[in-house]
Structure 1
Amino acid sequence: MLIYQLVIILIASKLAGHISVRLGQPSVLGKLLIGIMLGPAVLGLIHETEVLKEISKIGVILLMFIAGLETDLAEFKRTGKSAAYVGISGIIVPFGLGYLTGTMLDMKAAESIFLGLLLSATSVSISVQALKEMGSLKSPEGSTILGAAVIDDVVVVIALAFVMSFTGGDVNLGLVLVKKGVFFAVAFLFSWLAVPWFLRKFSTLRVTETVISAGLVLCFSYAYFAEYTGVADIIGAYIAGVAISTTEFKHQVFEKVESISYSIFVPVFFTSIGVAVEFHGLTASSYVLIVVLSLIAIVSKLVGASIGAKLSGFRWRSALGIGAAMVSRGEVALIIASIGLEAALITKSLFAVIVVVVLVTTIGTPPMMKVFFKNSD
């Protein structure tokens, strides 16, 4: 079954990506749409399984690891102020509109706050691929987007822990803060002191492909440690990539990881996003809510992040491009939604709506970025 699914996914995703590029859009858009076509929502050729979910998870981790390897650290440092502006303003506006939407839906205060936090989340894994295809990943805009994503993840998860601690959730806010602090302290210290040493020592082993193996060990270790301490695993993978990018092994690791990732893992990740969507069980009122929440999700993040980018010195076109890249909610929002469902902060019907809204924001991100970054092509 798995072999059959991989054959279908690889052929379909490559063809769909090619068609998307021929139509003037990033290839990732075609890969996302073909996932919906292949999944239960349309043709039913591919169904979500635990194995596919794990392969997909490896795909997004490797995608962010590659983004880290391609990061210009000097440029990343220069855009720190912009990233902070974008990250914070990109949370304030969606949170405010999400909270107001919750109150209009007669949700309790805690539930409205949770909906605001849910709409504040960002996942830039899709944006990273679009930036790569448009040659903008190493630009000031690209560095700002990646930095803002880190800030967004940390602030939203800490705020979520704060809310859960007051709504009966079994959450120790102090412990959450300590664990996140430990992650970043250990990750940055290890990157500085141990990563170069580990790569040099591991590369001397008398077996094949030691450098790429060492790179993957670091990537998955950082991702696991990040997830264990309550930070998104993709943030850990990104930091691992940045750490390796400062060593002489950067290009060797990048070339091998890119080949491995884009041959199987990344296509599965993109396609699986669409495969996971099912529309049955949604009522007429659900579709109205999907439209309303999708518009709020897209406009609030686009406006909020764009204002932050503009205030930090970017021109409006670049600011809107940065805002568009922050629109995708991706797997981060789905994880938060699952937490809310378990804590009874959202209903099952609202959870089903949110899954579709996340898909809409994810699919809508690449074409919006194409419009605002077209001068970078």
Structure 2
Amino acid sequence: MSFLGLWKACNGGKRVEFILELMLIILCTKLAGDLSVRLGQPAVLGKLLAGIALGPAVLGWVSQGGFIDQAAEIGVLLLMFIAGLETDLEQMRRNWQSAFAVAVAGIIVPFAGGYAAGIVFGLSTTASLFLGVVLSATSVSISVQVLKDMNRLNSREGTTILGAAVLDDVLVVVLLAVMMSAFGTGADISIGALIGKKALFFAVVIAVGWLVVPRVLKWLAPLKVTEAVVSAALVICFAFAYFAEELQMAGIIGAFAAGIAIAQTEFKKTVEEKIEPIAYSLFVPVFFVSIGLNVSFAGIGEQWLFLLVVSVVACITKLAGGWFGARVTGFDGRSSLLIGAGMVSRGEVALIIATMGLQGGLVLPNYYTPIIIAVIVTTLVTPPLLKQFAKDRPAKQFN
């Protein structure tokens, strides 16, 4: 019996297992992040690799489910909430055209690439189209952390990536709904109703963020309890995230919108200073590790070529689409590459879509694992790509 198994057996098994897993996650992500920085790479890369090492693919010390999944969900919500707090709303308004172009091109090119790859490997038209949808997704949470570490989150490039990611989420969900309606189990999906929900979401969060959020914070701030303002901010964050999920938006978009809303109030600095220690000491490390837990090498030997091709197509097409969208809206070549790199990570968004496709019969089980690993590959290559394209450029060039 391994040391880990013996420790669990002596201490109540499942009852305390999550305590040991949490200890390992915090320790290993911090050490791996530090090592990554010493090797000239973003800390996020080390944390993601720590997740793969701790998960079933290598050591098997941390498993999915229960507390880990729930803490990871809180982690990504807090990460995007902090990104919203730090976002320059005026900068985002100025770059909306670039964000739109990057989002659209960043969907069209990967969708075409994914469909072509599926056809080449003999997948059905339906499965090939679905592969295109998976590769069209973008999860900006990893890019947010890298940009934040490099002090680029409020740059023109950073706000363009954030805006494009929000639009990408809307467009990909609509595209997925069309697929599920036409070929999968979701034949009763109304595309008009889905688009209406998206419009309702943005209308409500804008109105609530402008009119309600400042009043709620001012009302709760004087409460004679500890950390009243921070507690109120978390209530708003999770309420926005829940509302987003109810309207078939990603919860991270709701959390991001909540952060932007609070950033327009006098409580921004207080909330930011109090939330960051909570997020980065506990929940965000669990989120990074949770991505690596999806990696499994079982059965990959038979699909190694498919995995290789899809991984390359996923990275190149998203980079090219983002580059094109940025280039045609006035960015120089290096900045366009930076924006394209920021869109490469598919992360948890694509993982969710792939799982939905498996459940809906849009992807064959033997192709599911290679697709999941390809998604993880895009997440792993994003930090070093961003680091490379931002290398040796003074900060003023990003403003």
TM category (shorter chain) comes to over 0.9
Correspondences of 1:12-31 after superposition (within 5 Å): 12-31=28-47
Using the alignment, how far apart are the partners of 1:99 and 1:47 within structure 2?
33
Question: By how many angstroms is 1:109 displaced?
Answer: 2.4
Q: Residues 222-254 of structure 1: CA distance to partner in whole angstroms, max 9, x if unpaired?
A: 111101111100011001000111110001001
2:215 is aligned with 1:161? no
1:350 lines up with 2:370 in the alignment: no
Question: What is the rounded CA distance, in whole Å, between the counterparts of 2:394 and 2:359 in structure 1?
Answer: 43
The amino acid across from 2:128 in the alignment is S
1:333 equivalent to 2:343? Answer no
Matched, 1:54 2:70: yes
Which stretch has the larger CA shift, 107-116 or 120-129? 107-116
Deviations 1:21-57 (A, max 9, x none): 1111110000001111111111122122221011001
Tell me which of 229, 247, 253 is aligned to 1:235. Answer: 253
Runs of 4+ in structure 1 off by over 6 angstroms are: none
Residues 1:129 and 1:69: Cα distance change in structure 2 (over 3 Å): same
What's the CA shift string for 1:110-169, capped at 9, x where partnerless? 222211111100001000000011110010000000000001000010111112211253
Map of 1:285 onto structure 2: 302
Answer whether contact 1:135 1:376 (CA < 8 A) is retained. Answer: no
Q: TM-score, normalising length from structure 1?
A: 0.98
Q: How does 1:37-186 map to 2 (within 5 A)?
A: 37-170=53-186, 171-186=189-204
8 Å Cα contact 2:117-2:309 kept in structure 1: no
Question: Residue in 1 aligned with 2:235?
Answer: 217
176, 199, 203: which one pairs with 2:221? 203
Contiguous gaps of at least 5 residues in structure 2: 1-16
Match of 2:291 in 1: 273
In 1, Cα distance between the equivalents of 2:128 and 2:292? 28
Question: Aligned pair in 2 of structure 1 residues 273, 148: CA closer, same or farther (>3 Å)?
Answer: same
Q: 2:180 & 2:27 partners in 1: Cα distance?
A: 43
Report what 2:266 is aligned to.
248
Aligned AA (2:191): L
Instruction: Measure how far apart 1:211 and its partner are.
Output: 0.4
Among candidates 340, 355, 379, match of residue 323 of structure 1: 340
Deviation of the 1:367 alpha carbon: 0.3
CA drift of 1:206 comes to: 1.3
**Following the alignment from structure 2 to structure 1, what is the Cα–Cα distance between the partners of residues 111 and 50?**
31
5+ long unaligned stretches in structure 1: none
How many pairs align? 376
- Letter matched to residue 95 of structure 2: T
Q: SS in structure 1 opposite 2:114?
A: helix
What is the Cα-based RMSD across aligned positions, in Å? Answer: 1.1
State the distance in 1 between where 2:356 and 2:41 align. Answer: 34
Structure 2 residue aligned with 1:371: 388
> 1:299 Cα shift?
0.2
**1:309-361 CA distances to partner (integer Å, 9 max, x unpaired)?**
11111111110011011000001001111111111110111111111001100
Q: Indicate if the aligned counterparts of 1:324 and 1:368 stay in contact, CA closer than 8 A.
A: yes
**Sequence identity (%):** 53
CA contact (8 A) 1:136 1:376 kept: no
* Counterpart amino acid of residue 66 in structure 2: E
In the other structure, the counterpart of 2:323 is 306
Task: Tell me the secondary structure at the aligned position of residue 45 of structure 1.
Answer: coil
Q: 1-side partners of 2:361 and 2:266: how far apart?
A: 50
Amino acid at match of 2:353: I
Could you tell me whether the CA contact under 8 Å between 1:38 and 1:275 is conserved in 2? yes
Q: Is the 8 A contact 1:63 1:261 kept in 2?
A: yes
* 1:163 to 1:260, Cα distance in 2 relative to 1, 3 A: same
Aligned equivalents of 1:172 and 1:342: distance in 2?
19
Range with greater deviation from structure 2 (321-330 or 167-176): 167-176
Whether the aligned pair in 2 keeps the contact of 1:134 and 1:376 (CA below 8 Å) is: no
User: Which is worse superposed, 367-376 or 11-20?
Assistant: 367-376
Displacement of 1:285 after TM fit?
A: 3.2
Report the AA paired with residue 241 of structure 1: G
Tell me which of 18, 25, 42 is aligned to 1:2: 18
Q: Secondary structure in 1 aligned to 2:224?
A: coil
Distance 2:228 2:380 in 1: 38
**What CA deviation, in whole Å up to 9, does each residue of 1:41-84 have, x standing for no partner?**
11122122221011001000000000000001111111111101
**Contact kept? 2:185, 2:361, Cα under 8 Å:** no
Return the alpha-carbon distance in structure 2 between the equivalents of residues 242 and 211 of structure 1. 16
Query: Does structure 1 retain, via aligned residues, the 8 Å contact 2:184–2:361?
Result: no
SS at match of 1:194: helix
